[in-house]
Chains A and B, each alone.
Chain A
Amino acid sequence: TQLLEQSPQFLSIQEGENLTVYCNSSSVFSSLQWYRQEPGEGPVLLVTVVTGGEVKKLKRLTFQFGDARKDSSLHITAAQPGDTGLYLCAGVSNNDMRFGAGTRLTVKP
């Protein structure tokens, strides 16, 4: 059973489109991390959000932590083929760190 639900599971879009992926839980987290994993490689940390309501931007990627620190979203503006990969969220609590199953994004040129 996944404590973190990520949606959608799969997403295929054209270059230039915008998209949002979600990471939801019934648990409260002290922080939440987002990773991107490309084929044949391990996940790479994109961002950590800590404060409820926090918004962080990384070029065309915008990350938001929910006010109650139970959920998060990742918005990509004008997606590029280089954004293709598996996006994973990881919720951190006092004694645990759990990963969602991920959103597999494909951006077609």
Chain B
Amino acid sequence: KAGVTQTPRYLIKTRGQQVTLSCSPISGHRSVSWYQQTPGQGLQFLFEYFSETQRNKGNFPGRFSGRQFSNSRSEMNVSTLELGDSALYLCASSLSWRAPLHFGNGTRLTVT
């Protein structure tokens, strides 16, 4: 069974640009969650989608948004990038909310 796939692995953007990250969950998993990981803040929950609906949202500004498609694939968008958005963005899929998470290897975003 293929794991969670995130693309791209690395991204370098400049302040003010926008970026879209992609996540393909494990087949059969309908819940997809996104996390931001930084050395100082650890893993911070961004949002969770289930069957194309956002069910839960973390405490991030509106510049961070996401969506889920009918095949459960998910995208995350960050607009008007700031230096502080530099982080590892992790996607995780699961059978249901709060079930054990299966993480992808992340997208490393660097904002210069």
Contact = CB atoms under 8 A, between A and B. Distances in A.
Interface of A: 2, 31, 33, 35, 40-45, 48, 88, 90, 92, 95, 97-102
Contacts of B1: none
B103 A42 contact: yes
A86 to B, nearest CB: 9
Contacts of B103: 35, 42-44
Query: Taking each of B35, B97, B101, which has the highest tally of chain A beta carbons within 10 Å of its own beta carbon?
Result: B101
A99 B105 contact: no
Given A45-B101, A99-B45, 14 more contacts: A33-B100, A33-B101, A41-B106, A42-B92, A42-B103, A42-B104, A88-B42, A90-B101, A95-B56, A97-B98, A98-B45, A99-B35, A100-B42, A101-B41
Query: Taking each of B4, B43, B92, B105, which has the highest tally of chain A beta carbons within 10 Å of its own beta carbon?
Result: B43
Contact of A92 (B35, B45, B92, B98): B98
B102 interface: yes
Contacts of B102: 45
A97 B45 contact: yes
A36 to B, nearest CB: 11
* Nearest 4 A/B pairs, CB to CB: A42-B103, A101-B42, A99-B43, A45-B100
Nearest to B92: A42
Nearest to A98: B45
A48 B100 contact: yes
Contact of A2 (B35, B42, B45): B42
A42 B100 contact: no
A55 B101 CA distance: 21
B81 interface: no
A40 B90 CA distance: 11
Query: Taking each of B35, B41, B97, B98, which has the highest tally of chain A beta carbons within 10 Å of its own beta carbon?
Result: B98
Interface string B93-112: 00001101111111000000
Nearest to B6: A42
B4 A42 contact: yes
Contacts of A99: 35, 42-43, 45
